[in-house]
Chain A
Amino acid sequence: MEVLKVEHLSKKFGSKPVLNDLNFSLNAGECLGIVGRSGCGKSTTVKIIARLMPPDEGKIILCGEDITNAEGVKLKDAYKNMQMIFQMPEDSFDPRRTLGQSIGEPLKNFGFDNIGERVKNLLEEVGLPPEFSERYPHEVSGGQCQRAATARAISISPKLLICDEATSALDVTVQSQIVKLIGKLCREKNIACLFITHDLNILPKIADRVAVMHEGKFAEEGLTDEVIKNAKSEYTRELLAADFFKMK
């Protein structure tokens, strides 16, 4: 089942094109990794899909509904099917609210009951003790905060999970744990995942397909192993070489 379809998405900042006729789709339970250097348009793509920024042209179809211009109730309905994990874990939580309050916010807004109990179960699901619901974001580590952000994102069982550089602000060991956690949850719950990163090494652990983004469009797209082992575009090879040296 097709969860997300992006058609002819374009965006300019002033006269500079950032997205250039972008097209792709994503099925339930599938994970698409979008990789590229800083400034290639990865974050702009997800911000537009998440309706946090308007596109200049194009369509975003989520679960069969065109949400490109959705507002009010229609937009709220769209968010019921789409959640996001942000780059900076601590900044994605209101500093004046406990993790429990923040995780419970979507549950409350979308009419779930027994919120306290659900929050504790969600925390356990992401590997955090239930007592963490009483903690403030600055009282936990980056990795723990990102686990809590994952709990918030999956709390309402969305059809699409967007991870915008969700591991960039974490150290390497924690990165691996978070990637495994997101991958496991998406597989178990049949959630489509759009995983944005600038680090190609992470993608084999989570992504079924990879799209390499360059100057606002996909330079290459295919199965993860194929793209990594047999890159067709020069840009992908450069990216792979850069990551190889980073690993060294």
Chain B
Amino acid sequence: MSKRYRPLIPFLILTGILIFVAVFAPFLTPYDPYLQDLEGALAAPNSTNLLGTDRYGRDVLSRVIMGSQTTLCASLLLLLTISVFGSLIGAICGYKGGKIDIFLMRMSDIFLAFPQMIFAVAAAGVLGGGLFNAAAALAVIGWPKYARISRGLVLTVRSMPYMDAAKMAGTGSIEMLYRHVLPNIAGPVLVTAALDIGTIIMELAGLSFLGLGAMPPTAEWGAMMNNGRSMIQTAPWVILSPGAAIFITVAVFNLLGDKIRDVMDPKNQRREVF
């Protein structure tokens, strides 16, 4: 790996661990995360149940591990959808300009005018709850941010002299787009996406916490916190365990985003001799 990418390694390892846990969750859980044992309900952390049990006697550690799959898959899919869709719209607007730009940007202005979480709560409420509907609600309100960012970046790149130089070098429009425009806007979009993973995890968890996301008995971190909120004083492990999982995951993705931003800066593109 090039020296330039070395600072990323620890964060890529941590992210890899999180993704590994999410992908192989069914094989990593010590117990069935959905198996109820009412006699052992609300057991404090012990050698058998390392993070204790919830009100139905389900092993909290198993549910946290299983919840990583639900939470991370939903968050990453949602992020992929809004970042790709939004960036594509923004790139088209920036590159083509004209009426299509005006129309799509006014649309994005309308969506940006709504407070994101309140819109998502309202939309998820109207759509009837469930993880898919919660993600759909966040997707509807989430794309304009990426459209705005990529449009601005495309406009900046388009006005650079190297675009004129590329045009005079005989480079066609499509080649120009993938050879010069996309590589120069990819960095900031990727960094924004990496920094957004944490926010999206929080928002999805927030909707689940409000009962508008994952439905029982699905193991999902926000829903688990919602189930444990009435027991915060009597059985704090029920709410603290998924809370800690959210905290760690959000921190890891935010740190990864920061490092990607450093690495993607073209000024840091130095060769080994320097």
Contact = CB atoms under 8 A, between A and B. Distances in A.
Interface of A: 50, 52, 76, 79-80, 82-84, 86-88, 91-96, 102, 105-106, 109-110, 134-136, 138-139, 149, 152
Contacts of B266: 95-96, 136, 138
Interface stretch (B5-13, B123-131, B159-167): B159-167
A76 B270 CA distance: 34
B180 interface: yes
Contacts of B274: 139
A52 B158 CA distance: 12
B272 to A, nearest CB: 10
B162 A139 contact: no
A92 B267 contact: no
Given A102-B162, A139-B274, 18 more contacts: A50-B168, A52-B168, A79-B167, A88-B161, A92-B161, A92-B164, A94-B179, A94-B184, A95-B162, A96-B184, A102-B165, A105-B171, A109-B171, A134-B271, A135-B271, A136-B270, A138-B266, A152-B165
A109 B160 contact: no
24 contacts: A52-B164, A76-B172, A79-B167, A79-B168, A82-B168, A84-B164, A84-B165, A84-B168, A87-B161, A91-B162, A92-B162, A95-B267, A96-B266, A96-B269, A102-B162, A106-B168, A109-B169, A109-B170, A109-B171, A109-B175, A136-B269, A136-B271, A139-B270, A152-B165
A86 B164 contact: yes
A86 B165 contact: yes
B161 A91 contact: yes
B270 to A, nearest CB: 7
B217 interface: no
B39 to A, nearest CB: 62
B170 A79 contact: yes
What are the 7 tightest A-B residue pairs by CB atom distance, in nearest-first order? A109-B170, A106-B169, A95-B266, A105-B169, A92-B161, A86-B161, A94-B162
